[in-house]
Amino acid sequence: MPSARNVYRHADELEGLSAPNRENYLYETRLLQQELPQNATVLQVGSMDGMRIIWLLEVRLDLSLTGLEVESSLIKIAEKNITSTNRNVKFVTGDIPSPTFSNQSIT
Q: Which of 14, 17, 1, 11 is nearest to 44 (CA)?
A: 11
Domain 11-106 fold: Rossmann fold (3.40.50)
Please state the domain extents for the chain.
11-106
Closest CA to 43 of 10, 7, 92, 1: 92
Q: Average of pLDDT values for 16-33?
A: 85
Residues 45-80: pLDDT tens digits? 988 889 889 888 888 999 999 999 998 999 999 999
pTM of the full predicted structure? 0.71
Q: What is the pLDDT of residue 13?
A: 67
Q: What pLDDT sits at residue 58?
A: 87
